[in-house]
Amino acid sequence: MDIKQFVDDSIRNIKQTVGDKKAILALSGGVDSSVCAALVSQAIGSHLTCVFVDHGLMRKGEREAVEDVFNNEFDVNLIVVDAQERFMTKLKNIEDPEEKRKIIGEEFIRVFEEEQAKLSDHDFLVQGTIAADIEESGKEGGKLVKSHHNVGGLPEDVNFELVEPLRELYKADVRAAGRELGLPEPMVARQPFPGPGLGVRCLGEITEERLEILKEADYILRDEVAKAGLEYDVWQYFVAIPDFKVVGKVNDERAFAYPIFIRGVISEDAKEATWYGFEEDFLRRLSKKITDQIPQVVRVLYDITDKPPATIEYE
């Protein structure tokens, strides 16, 4: 595919469709919605309003990266909604993974609807639907493995006209379009990240304490992977934290603190995955750094399970 041509044609089409009206887009900081935002902004500039919902379940630095790029590099109207407390309140005492996903998805839609209600002069809704999304949703009779978190779930009575400029693209082309539009490489090359964010990596009930530990450990892992130049070798790598403690020994004293799980996999399409074999030195360095920098972690476990029988994520 000629990406430059695609970008030019899309910008022209979007200009024609939206004209001098306004459009709204839910921006997650993920590849699809970011590329969509960049593309549409080239066509209609600040007539595009991007709503980024900070539910507190993003990785460390992600909100700042989105703010930096879309406030400074692109001419869009960016609204960042601080919704951490709202989400934490809804998620209190909820342990079941499916219920957690459902609550996060529903609450996201509610927040988005509230923002959209304030923008009554916006006639278009831009969605980062890509070819694979359409193929996936077209499949009949698939068993529910995980409930889906998507703006596709927005209620039907919303009076918007849809704009979906990426419908015909596969992921590699979406990334290429992002590069063509000048999005920063970390945003364009971002590894797959679950819709409910870190909510499904903070196992069982989500607590602020464990969420913080998770964010720090995940930050260290990403930093080490980047330093080792492995970002493009490992398909997905992340940390999960369970909701139980284990015994350790810190400064010659018994400690009762958290273990964390590290997972790294390679995969083509997430349907199957093989665990990634990090070098021993890498794992030693990582484990030491995490336990040195995060006193609440006394054990680092590396997951050596393929999918199947495991899934990539833990919940």
Ligand X SMILES: Nc1ncnc2c1ncn2[C@@H]1O[C@H](COP(=O)(O)OP(=O)(O)OP(=O)(O)O)[C@@H](O)[C@H]1O
Residue 23 is a binding residue for ligand X (CB under 6 A): no
Q: Is 10 annotated as a binding residue?
A: no
Q: How many CB atoms lie within 10 A of CB 148?
A: 14
Strand partners, 26: 51
Q: Is 34 annotated as a binding residue?
A: yes
Cα 199 to Cα 201: distance, rounded to the nearest angstrom: 6
Closest CA relative to residue 300, chosen from 277, 284, 276: 284
Residue 195 is a binding residue for ligand X (CB under 6 A): yes
Among 11, 18, 23, 32, binds ligand X (CB under 6 A): 32
Residue 165 is a binding residue for ligand X (CB under 6 A): no
Residue 150 is a binding residue for ligand X (CB under 6 A): yes
Among 26, 76, 217, 312, binds ligand X (CB under 6 A): 26
Q: Is 120 annotated as a binding residue?
A: no
Alpha helices by DSSP H, listed for the chain, are: 3-18, 31-44, 62-68, 84-91, 97-118, 131-138, 171-180, 185-188, 208-227, 280-293
Residue 291 is a binding residue for ligand X (CB under 6 A): no
Q: Is 46 annotated as a binding residue?
A: no
Q: How many CB atoms lie within 10 A of CB 276?
A: 20
Do residues 54 and 80 lie in contact, with contact meaning Cβ atoms separated by under 8 Å? yes
Extract the tokens encoding 214. 């998770």
Quick note: the x/- pattern for ligand X over 59-98, rule CB under 6 A, is ----------------------------------------
For ligand X, the closer CB: 138 or 229:
138
Closest CA relative to residue 1, chosen from 158, 172, 161, 181: 172
Binding residues for ATP: 28-34
Which residues of the chain form contacts with ligand X (CB under 6 A)? 26-28, 30-33, 51-53, 55, 108, 128, 149-151, 195
Binding residues: 28-34
